[in-house]
């Protein structure tokens, strides 16, 4: 985990891309691999812990996070404005590594967050599949990097598939699939990918405390034994997670 640091950084931009979904950009020179995350903390006392967030985008002088307001921590982060400061711990976790050949990125809802930097770094040949409960968001960020397929449970314009991203997506023909989203979505994807023998890598989420591998609060049981989500993960081969003991 080269370059791990705990530092105070300035907020450059806070953008509400739709009600309750934000992109927060902070200033500084950072290094991060696609799929890695940071812990953000912008308060002294409450809530107790910082909040883990995967890297959405990276530039030579800034780092950004895409997140949905879910509780008090994300609400407090959403109130940050340019000029405010926050504490940042990272980069954390393993991130994902590109396979050779045509790959697919699959995101569900705010699970799209780790996929933008991934798309930028991985490059073609690649397709991106994003699923939403209702109105899609942040599509314009992804469209320059690959052919984009969008699903929404509520439907939308003709180019939007009405239903689940897992119903729209067909893994056959891809060298590997990289996915982040709700657990049920990842599990459904795993079944589809296993049927056609395509490797799937999933980015998982658990409550975590230290973020660096010391507290063992985020341990999950994988096929090869206990694994710290913050250290051995958050990216795992799906077979390790869903493949049974």
Partner 1 sequence: MEPDLSVKLRKIRLSTPVMPAAGTFGFGEEYAELYELSSSLGALVTKTLTLRPRSGNPQPRLWETPCGLLNSIGIENPGLPAFVEEIFPCLLKFRLPIVVSVYGESAEEYGELARRIPREAAGVELNLSCPNLPGKPSVLSAEEIFSRVAAAREAWPGELWAKISPEGDWLPAAQAAEEAGADAVVATNTFRGMALDLERRAPVFPNLVAGLSGPAIKPLGLRIVYELCRVLRIPVIGCGGIRSGRDALEFILAGAHAVQVGTANFFDPLAIPRILREMRDWLKKEGLRGLEEVRGCAQKK
Q: How many angstroms separate the CA atoms of 88 and 76, rounded? A: 15
Nearest 5°: phi and psi at 192?
Answer: -65, -45
Stretch of 44-52, 109-117, 138-146, 237-245 lying at the interface with partner 1 (CB under 8 A): 44-52
Q: Give me 62's structure tokens.
A: 């800034």
Instruction: Work out whether 226 is an interface residue with partner 1 (CB under 8 A).
Output: yes
Can you count the helices (H) and strands (E) in the chain?
6, 16
* Among residues 121, 168, 175, 220, the one that binds partner 1 under rule CB under 8 A: 220
Instruction: Work out whether 184 is an interface residue with partner 1 (CB under 8 A).
Output: no
* Among residues 36, 38, 41, 105, the one that binds partner 1 under rule CB under 8 A: 41
Instruction: Work out whether 182 is an interface residue with partner 1 (CB under 8 A).
Output: no
Instruction: Work out whether 187 is an interface residue with partner 1 (CB under 8 A).
Output: no
**Cα 126 to chain centroid, rounded:** 17
Question: Which stretches of the chain are DSSP H helices?
Answer: 72-78, 115-122, 139-142, 165-168, 183-196, 238-242
Instruction: Work out whether 12 is an interface residue with partner 1 (CB under 8 A).
Output: no
Instruction: Work out whether 28 is an interface residue with partner 1 (CB under 8 A).
Output: no
Residue with token string 């056959």: 172
Interface with partner 1 (CB under 8 A) = 1, 4-6, 41, 45-50, 89, 206-210, 212-221, 225-226, 231
């Amino acid at each position: 985990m080269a370059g791990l640091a705990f530092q105070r950084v300035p907020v450059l931009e806070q953008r509400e891309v739709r009600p309750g979904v934000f992109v927060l950009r902070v200033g500084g020179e950072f290094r991060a691999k696609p799929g890695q995350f940071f812990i953000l903390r912008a308060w002294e006392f409450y809530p107790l812990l910082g909040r883990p967030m995967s890297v959405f985008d990276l530039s030579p002088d800034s780092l950004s996070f895409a997140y949905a307001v879910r509780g008090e921590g994300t609400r407090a982060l959403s109130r940050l404005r340019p000029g405010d400061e926050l504490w940042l711990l990272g980069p954390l976790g393993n991130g994902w590594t590109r396979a050779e050949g045509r790959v697919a990125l699959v995101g569900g809802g705010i699970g799209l967050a780790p996929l933008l930097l991934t798309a930028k770094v991985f490059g073609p040949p690649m397709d991106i599949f994003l699923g939403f409960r209702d109105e899609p968001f942040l599509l314009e960020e992804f469209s320059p990097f690959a052919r984009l397929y969008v699903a929404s449970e509520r439907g939308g314009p003709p180019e939007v598939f009405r239903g689940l991203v897992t119903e729209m997506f067909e893994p056959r023909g891809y060298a590997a699939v990289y996915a982040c989203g709700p657990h049920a979505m990842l599990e459904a994807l795993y079944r589809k990918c296993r049927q056609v023998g395509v490797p799937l890598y999933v980015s998982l989420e658990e409550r975590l405390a230290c973020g660096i591998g010391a507290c063992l609060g985020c341990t999950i049981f994988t096929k090869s034994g206990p694994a710290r989500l913050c250290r051995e993960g958050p990216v795992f081969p799906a077979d390790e997670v869903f493949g049974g003991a």
